[in-house]
Amino acid sequence: MNRLKLAILISGRGSNMEALLHAAEDPAYPARPVLVASNRPDAKGLETAAAAGVPTAAVDHTLFGKDREAFEKALDAELEAAGTEIIALAGFMRVLTPWFVGKWEGRMVNIHPSLLPKYKGLHTHQRAIDAGDTEAGATVHWVSPGVDDGEIIQQASLPILPGDTADSLAARLLPVEHKLYPEALAKACATLTSAG
Ligand code: GAR
């Protein structure tokens, strides 16, 4: 079985990354991690990945000032050196330029904490609560040039309970994300592999 070489991009805690690494411990999982990279050298997830024996890279975006593309070229060099075939964004908190998205389009997926197309961008849970929604959720989607705008691969939802805050909702959603992301990434791999 051809397992796609997976790079996971993070900016912080990396619990979704950990869920993907865990799923990929199964030799039948259609992707195998070759790199975990972060734009923040102090991201907790880098330690977790290293402890799991996965190669890591830190490309500090602050060293590139406002030059997003220069940051992305440095990141891209790490991705290429690792032989990356598919990228999973997992709490990666940088908006990507058309150059980077264009280069990896069709080979890059993201997890977003809302039921897209609702609540693109930030503060998704507070916006769902303020709107009086009865459910929230997460979406895994292909990354396209528009922010949180690409084709949806899979979603999972959960009820918003009376008294929920953005924090309580995020905490309840997290284990839902951890189940969703490995499933959705496997689907994405299947699409890519069948596309040849
Ligand atoms: C997750 O809830 C993910 O959906 C969200 O950040 C969190 C990362 O947690 N992603 C975004 O907001 C992307 N715009 P993690 O680092 O523990 O996986």
DSSP letter for each residue of 67-96 = -HHHHHHHHHHHHHHTT-SEEEESS--SPP
Residue owning the nearest CA to atom 8 of ligand 1: 91
Question: What was the pLDDT predicted at 114?
Answer: 98
- Clarify whether 178 is annotated catalytic: no
Ligand 1 centre to CA of 162 (Å) is 23
Complete edge-to-edge strand list for the sheet that includes strand 4-10: 56-58, 31-38, 4-10, 86-89, 108-112, 135-142, 152-159
Token pair for residue 149? Answer: 């705008």
111 ligand 1 Cβ < 6 A: yes
Q: Indicate if the pLDDT at residue 196 is higher than 70.
A: no
Ligand 1 centre to CA of 19 (Å) is 12
Question: What was the pLDDT predicted at 1?
Answer: 72
Averaged pLDDT score across all residues of the chain = 97
14 ligand 1 Cβ < 6 A: yes
For the stretch 12-60, pLDDT in tens is 999 999 999 999 999 999 999 999 999 999 999 999 999 999 999 999 9
Q: Indicate if the pLDDT at residue 68 is higher than 80.
A: yes
Among 61, 112, 125, 141, the one annotated catalytic: 112
Architecture of domain 4-195 in CATH?
Answer: 3-Layer(aba) Sandwich (3.40)
Give the model's confidence band at 152: pLDDT under 50 very low, under 70 low, under 90 confident, else very high: very high
Domain regions of the chain by residue span:
4-195
Question: What atom in ligand 1 is closest to the CA of residue 124?
Answer: 12
User: What is the mean predicted confidence (pLDDT) over 90-108?
Assistant: 97
Question: What was the pLDDT predicted at 113?
Answer: 98
Question: What was the pLDDT predicted at 195?
Answer: 78
Find where tokens 């940088």 sit. 94
Residue owning the nearest CA to atom 17 of ligand 1: 15
Distance in angstroms (rounded) separating the CA atoms of residues 192 and 189: 5
Confirm if 189 and 1 have CB atoms less than 8 A apart: no
Residue owning the nearest CA to atom 7 of ligand 1: 91
Q: What is the pTM of this model?
A: 0.98
